[in-house]
Chains A and B, each alone.
Chain A
Amino acid sequence: MTEWLERHMPKMVLAPSFVAILIFVYGFIFWTAWVSFTRSKLLPKYEIKGLIQYERLFASPRWDTAMDNLFIFGVLFIVISMVLGLLLAILLDQKIRAEGALRTIYLYPMALSMIVTGTAWKWIMNPGLGIEATVRGWGFENFAFDWVVNPDRAIYAVVIAAVWQASGFVMALFLAGLRGVDEEIIKAAQVDGIPTWRIYSAIIIPSMAPIFLSAFIVLAHLAIKSFDLVIALTGGGPGYATDLPATYMYAMAFSRGDIGQAASSAMVMMGVVFAIVVPYLYSELRAKHD
């Protein structure tokens, strides 16, 4: 009996969450895919009507803007967060005083919800209230920082707020990576008289490759699903200049009673996530087989 229990306990314990994930994740992915092939409006309908929703989606200029924004936002957010995070981590790793306090300060933005970040930065970057008004108040009358209200620049304003939020977290990841590098190798390199920047670029950073991958995956999915930051910071505006696929989907499903359109945009979003995650999973799984 105990032997039987021992053998089957893990399966029994895992079964409920397995079933829940099967239904609530994969079941609903399938449901959304189905709905995306129908002409569902206010309520879901199940009669397949072909690819009409995808045709409408790709004909929509607003969706184009949303995908362009996702690309601009995603690339800038991931690259800047990683560079800043790495830089902060290297600087913190110089055995400085009060490292604990500094680390906490850099990590704190992560403890805030995106809504708080968005609202605070909305005020900071508002030309009439924030940085622009302050600097002009100091006497620099020509100073302009109106990104958040400028349709061509607003998406970069979103990047600033997102980077502020996430770079501390990336720093923590990299710091852990730096601490994991073998001290002996570094000491050996120092004995050989290799300059510090060479030690970083040729030894330490290459040995942190897995950390880069984890940071990339975490940041990429944050970028694709980001919704609350845009809603709080710009509300998708000015116009729909800062619309992202997630806000587009929300508008279609909940404001416009166009569920079919929302489902098709959700499927495209999932496609984007797959394009990033599947190669990662593939490399992970293959590494284990080797």
Chain B
Amino acid sequence: MSELLQFLFSGVTVGAVYALVALGFTIIYNASDVVNFAQGEFVMLGGMITWFAHAAGLPLPLAALSAIVVTAALGVAMNKLMIEPARGAPVVSLIIITIGASIFIQGAAQLVFDKQIHSFPAFSGDAPIRVGGATILPQSLWVIGGALVVFAGLWVFFTRTLLGRAVLATSNNRLAAQLVGINTNFVMALSFAVSAGIGALAGVLATPITLVAYNVGIGFALKGFAGAMLGGMGNPKGALVGGFAIGLIEALTAGYLSSQYKDAAAFVVILAVLFFMPQGLFGRKSADRV
């Protein structure tokens, strides 16, 4: 029983990171119908920049903040330099572009930082908290709390603010949004900034537990995408639930089946979702227009 609880704790922790990545996917997808495969690199950058700045002498909170700001700025730059010039390109081209961006960021991170695995101290110490025979790290609570706060913030943003509705309007019909006076370029830039910032935040929160290296991004991207897909692409609630679900499935796979193949769990979920419910848990149906 306590063993199961332990697996659940670790599943929820890592699931919170996936949920943040999935939320990042959702924001950009909602604004532009682009699935940004470089989403995982934002997580990597969040962790790496924080470690780097901290090692250079910056206090941890300041290092974390600078990591989030720098990553958000890189997100904006990526939109401006790579996504905007390719507007209207076929999906295959956009996949190649965002994968290319992902590879490029990895390669750059190797050079700017290094190829080592890094970590920095947990925010509230490393003393495990005992709950019902299992333990949970204080940092896990930070990660889970972070995911919930970001979700709540996004929910308020998309449903209660004018700007948030402008983002949704842009995704529904770009031309119509322009006609009613929405600055769609600004909306796109904002989406990339927020999405990259959330990715970086995930990296900041998770690194003390999961560690960080230049090549961790693609794994986060795959699992975050699996979460977003499981929940239903474009649905923030789905992204949250889907992300946590992937984390739990992975932790239970590691605990009861094979720790070597825990990374396969996300892929199996992707295939299962594709097979049995292509719309995801909370997705809406769509038909091709002819």
- A and B assemble together: no
Residues of A at the B interface (CB closer than 8 Å) are none
Residues of B at the A interface (CB closer than 8 Å) are none
